[in-house]
Amino acid sequence: MASNSYETGRLNLPFVGICTFGKYPYQPDWDAIDADVAVLGAPFDCGTQWRAGTRFGPRSIREASTLFSFGHGGAYDHEDDATYLPSEAVSIVDIGDADIVHTDTMRSHANIEFGVRKILEAGALPVVLGGDHSINIPCINAFAEDCEKNGPIHIVQIDAHLDFVDERHGVRYGH
């Protein structure tokens, strides 16, 4: 188990400072991503058919994730008696959010795809925080060239339900 090193460095407790995913470093320069994993927010909800609000998902996920950053050694799980994501095992950065142009689905999706492509160019694993169901589309599109070189990709989608259809009510780029 990694030590917490409370005696050295800043504590950077969950309730202080800038809210990034897991309190990992913020990297605003997408041409300087140097990490194993890069977290990108996709605060988009123009593809939802019911009600808006999922645009606040990335911010809420980041805020909740700070609770797992207590101390310097990673996220300790008392049930497993294990420390997950210790800083010496995997490097993680939060690159902020993709630019969202409210009411412009195609432009917003292009900006999300651009962010995922920058992560892939850096050789990092993209973790995208959404947003509505439609953000899968630009994320998958970003892998087009990568799949030609490296084969199939795997997507982990955490959702209450999966409503993946080609078109719903005449809308192609939504659910």
The 10s digit of each residue's pLDDT in 29-53 is 999 999 999 999 999 988 777 778 8
Look at the chain and report how many structural domains it folds into.
1
Per the structure, the complete domain to which residue 109 belongs is given by 21-150
User: Is a pLDDT exceeding 70 seen at residue 80?
Assistant: yes
13 within some domain: no
34, part of any domain: yes
Work out whether strand 82-84 and strand 37-42 pair parallel, antiparallel, or are unpaired. Answer: unpaired
Q: Which pLDDT value is given to residue 142? A: 94
CA distance 102 to 108: 8
Per-residue pLDDT at 4 exceeds 60:
no
SS3 (DSSP) at 18: coil
pTM across the whole model? 0.84
For residue 86, being part of any structural domain is answered with yes
pLDDT score of 126 more than 90 = yes
In-domain check, residue 46: yes
Q: Is residue 11 part of a domain?
A: no
- Helix (H) or strand (E) segment spanning residue 111: helix 105-121
Across residues 141-160, what is the average pLDDT?
A: 81
- Position 148 scores a pLDDT of 78
What's 123's domain CATH number?
A: 3.40.800.10
**175 falls within a domain:** no
Residue 171 domain flag = no
Residue 123 located in a structural domain: yes
